[in-house]
Structure 1
Amino acid sequence: MSEEETETAPEKLALDAWHRAHGARMVPFAGYEMPIQYEGIVAEHDWTRAHAGLFDVSHMGQLTLEGPDGDIAAAAEALEALVPGLVSSLKPGRMRYTLLLAEDGGILDDLMVTNTGQHIALVVNGACKWDDIAFLREHLPDDITLTHHEDQALLALQGPEAVDALGELVPAAAELVFMTAGFYDWNGVPLWISRAGYTGEDGFEISVPADHAEKLAAALTEDKRVKPIGLGARDSLRLEAGLPLYGHDLTAEIDPVTAELTFALSKKRREAGGYHGHARISGALSDGAAQKRIGLVLDGRLPAREGSEIFAGDTQVGTVTSGGFSPTLGHPIAMGYVDAAHAEIDTALEVQVRNKRLPARVAKMPFVQHRYFRGS
Structure 2
Amino acid sequence: MAQPDEHAGPLQKTPLYAEHIALGARMVPFAGYEMPVQYADGILSEHNWTRTHAGLFDVSHMGQAILQGRDHAATARALEALIPADILNLAEGRQRYSQLTAEDGGIIDDLMVTRPAGEANDGRLLLVVNAARKEVDFAHIAARLPSSVRLDVVEDRALIALQGPEAAMVMERHCPDALGLGFMEAAVLLVDDFPMQVSRSGYTGEDGFEISVPALEAPLLWARLMAEPEVRAIGLGARDSLRLEAGLCLYGHDINLSTSPIEAALAWSIQKRRRLDGGFPGAVRIQRELTEGTQRTRVGLRIEGRQPAREGAEIAAASAVIGVVTSGGFAPSLNAPIAMGYVPPAYAAPGTALEVLVRGKALPASVVALPFMPTRYHRKS
TM class, shorter-length: over 0.9
Mapping 1:136-285, distance limit 5 Å: 136-285=141-290
Alpha-carbon separation, structure 2, partners of 1:211 and 1:128: 25
**Cα pair 2:350 2:367 within 8 Å, conserved:** yes
- The answer on whether the counterparts of 2:6 and 2:29 sit within 8 Å (CA) in structure 1 is no
Per-residue CA deviation, residues 228-277 of structure 1 (Å, 9 max, x unaligned), is: 10000000000000001011000011011111100011111111111111
2-side partners of 1:212 and 1:18: how far apart? 13
Q: Runs of 4 or more off by more than 3 Å in structure 1?
A: none
Q: Deviations over 1:203-239 (max 9, x none)?
A: 0000000111000000001100011100000000000
Of 353, 364, 371 in structure 2, the residue corresponding to residue 366 of structure 1 is: 371
Which residue number in structure 1 is paired with residue 68 of structure 2? 66
Hey, what does 1:26 align to over in structure 2? 27
- What amino acid is aligned across from residue 36 of structure 1 in structure 2? V
Determine if the alignment matches structure 1 residue 323 to structure 2 residue 325: no
Are 2:75 and 2:125, in contact at CA under 8 Å, matched by a contact in 1?
Answer: yes
The one-letter amino acid of 1:8's match is G
Note if 1:302 corresponds to 2:304: no
Alignment of 1:11 with 2:12, yes or no, is yes
Q: Distance in 1 between matches of 2:6 and 2:59?
A: 27
Q: Secondary structure at the match of 1:248?
A: coil
Residue matched to 1:36: 37
Task: Please tell me whether the aligned partners of residues 7 and 29 of structure 2 are also in contact (alpha carbons under 8 angstroms).
Answer: no
Distance 1:6-1:183 versus aligned 2 partners, 3 A rule = closer
Cα contact 2:57–2:234 (8 A) shared by 1:
yes
**Equivalent position SS for 2:143:** helix
The separation in 2 between residues aligned to 1:239 and 1:353, in whole angstroms, is 19
TM-fit CA distance, 1:314: 2.1
User: Closer, same or farther in 2 for the Cα pair 1:51/1:5, shift >3 Å?
Assistant: closer
SS at match of 1:26: strand
CA displacement at 1:92 relative to structure 2: 1.3
Distance change in 2, residues 1:77/1:252 (3 Å): same
Report the CA distance shift for 1:299/1:14 in structure 2 as closer, same or farther (over 3 A): same
The gaps in structure 1 that reach 5 residues or longer are none
Q: C-alpha displacement at 1:201, in angstroms?
A: 0.1
SS in 1 for 2:315: strand
In the superposition, the TM-score normalised over structure 1's length comes to: 0.97
**CA–CA distance in 2 between the matches of 1:226 and 1:370?**
20
Q: Secondary structure at the match of 2:135?
A: helix
User: Equivalent residue for 2:51?
Assistant: 49
Q: Distance in 1 between matches of 2:329 and 2:50?
A: 18
- 2:365 is paired with a residue of what secondary structure? strand
- After the TM superposition, which residues 92-103 of structure 1 pair with which residues of structure 2 at under 5 Å, given as runs? 92-103=92-103
2:77–2:88 Cα contact (<8 Å) kept:
yes
Contact 1:320 1:334 in 2 (8 A): yes
Cα RMSD for the two superposed structures: 1.4
Name the aligned partner's letter for residue 111 of structure 2. Answer: L
Q: Give the match for residue 86 of structure 2.
A: 86
Give the letter aligned to residue 53 of structure 1: G
Q: Is the 8 A contact 2:7 2:32 kept in 1?
A: no
Task: Find the aligned partners of 1:287 and 1:5 in 2 and give their Cα distance.
Answer: 40
* Partner-residue secondary structure (3-state), 1:139: coil
Counterpart of 2:303, as a letter, is L
Q: Work out whether residues 190 and 209 of structure 1, in 8 Å CA contact, stay in contact via their aligned partners in 2.
A: no
Structure 2 unpaired stretches of 5+ = none
Q: Deviations over 1:180-201 (max 9, x none)?
A: 0000123442210000000000
**In the aligned structure 2, how far is the partner of 1:264 from the partner of 1:191?**
27
Preserved CA contact (<8 Å) 2:166 2:230: yes
After superposing the two structures, state which structure 1 stretch, 102-111 or 154-163, moved more: 102-111
SS in 2 for 1:324: strand
Does the aligned pair in 2 maintain the 1:244–1:250 contact within 8 Å? yes
**Number of residue pairs matched by the alignment:** 371
Distance 2:270 2:16 in 1: 36
Greater shift after overlay, 267-276 or 237-246?
267-276
